[in-house]
Amino acid sequence: MIKGIDVSSWQDNIDFGKVKASGIDFVIIRAGYGRETSQKDNCFEQNYNAAKAAGLDVGAYWYSYADSAEDAVREAKACVEVIKGKKFEYPIFFDLEEQSQFAKGKNFCDSVIKAFCGELEKHGYLAGLYCSTYYLNNYVSNSVAGKYALWVAQYNYRCTYTANKYGIWQYSDEGRVNGISGNVDMNYCYTNYPIIVKAEGYNGYRKAGVKKASTVKTTATGTSNTSAKKSVDELAKEVIAGKWSAGDERKQKLTAAGYDYNAVQKRVNELMSKPKLKTVDEIAKEVIQGKWSAGDERKQKLTAASYDYGTIQAKVNELMKNQ
């Protein structure tokens, strides 16, 4: 599990050196919003340069107001213009959260997601979708959500989204991190995006090594070409990046290409595996038994283990009251 934050011009004068020293490994920076390059986030350049200088891995997001698929393409083009020439270790996310967009229904939401992310992919970026669990479940088709890197928002002690594998969970908007004045969004990442991005040559990186599409072998009758097989690791990373569709379609494509679907899927699950969280009741009982210390130390331990301290403590108080 990798710890990260996301920031915009709402957080001003960030000391990324202190952020890095506090245990944060990555930051997703707002690049801008809307359809014009003039809508670039006022702190984007400053945040990008300072985060890179501090040794943090960086991704970006673009807040959408698109009212059509064509408008989403214009937003993507503005985003590309703003971020070009820079390198990102994390995906570039389409931020879908405007009520006016959800009011137009699932087909509309699917169309703007595909339009924006498709345009990013044309320019060599690993495209992702940011959305809350409620709207993912009700306004985005599973097949569309599964095509891109997923960044899921749910302020809870655990993320309940199960329709697709997600790479990042935004679990709080009230985090406190050394180097930032005020609250900041907090995230856990379960996918090693830097490895995928650099291996596949996304986001301004050159692809790590050029693999031959075929090998030539000499036979008694001359030479013949045989397709070079990719490793399970390579395929798993491509699956996570959305190159092999999802569900039955993924299975069909991998099998048709001569690969062992089960072996590849097993590796995908390993790369994206997340620690299984215990229930609120279970943790509350452990707290009562003294397994999670007390006071601020308890709060720190529970938060570090991905639990919502307030929810757990409320359950502890309830159980103690009933004893």
Q: Is 7 helix (H, G, I), strand (E, B) or coil?
A: strand
pLDDT of the chain, 323 residues: tens digit per residue:
899 999 999 888 899 999 999 999 999 999 999 999 999 999 999 999 999 999 999 999 999 999 999 999 999 999 999 999 999 999 999 999 999 999 999 999 999 999 999 999 999 999 999 999 999 999 999 999 999 999 999 999 899 999 899 999 999 999 999 999 999 999 999 999 999 999 899 999 987 654 434 333 333 333 333 446 788 888 888 888 777 777 777 877 787 777 888 888 888 877 776 555 788 888 888 888 888 888 888 887 887 777 888 888 888 888 888 76
| DSSP one-letter string for 228-280 | PPPPHHHHHHHHHTTTT-SHHHHHHHHHHTT--HHHHHHHHHHHT--PPPPPH
C-alpha 298: how far from its chain's center? Answer: 28
Give the bridge partners for 218, in sequence order: 223
Side chain identity at 319, as an amino acid letter? L
109: which residues sit within 8 A by CB, 6+ positions away? 96, 101, 102, 135, 139, 140
Write down all domains in the chain, each with its CATH number in brackets.
Answer: 2-200 (3.20.20.80), 214-271 (no CATH), 280-322 (no CATH)
Residue 275's pLDDT is what? 55
How far is Cα 287 from Cα 282, in angstroms, rounded to an integer?
Answer: 9
Strands annotated E in the chain: 2-7, 26-33, 57-63, 92-95, 127-132, 149-153, 168-175, 184-189, 214-219, 222-227
C-alpha 18: how far from its chain's center? Answer: 23
How far is Cα 91 from Cα 308, in angstroms, rounded to an integer?
Answer: 27
Task: Find tokens 């379609």 and name the residue.
Answer: 249
Residue 223's pLDDT is what? 35
Residue 84's pLDDT is what? 95
Residue 131's pLDDT is what? 97
Using only C-alpha atoms, the chain has a radius of gyration, in whole angstroms, of 22
Residue 225's pLDDT is what? 37
CB 37 within 8 A of CB 79: no
CB 168 within 8 A of CB 193: no
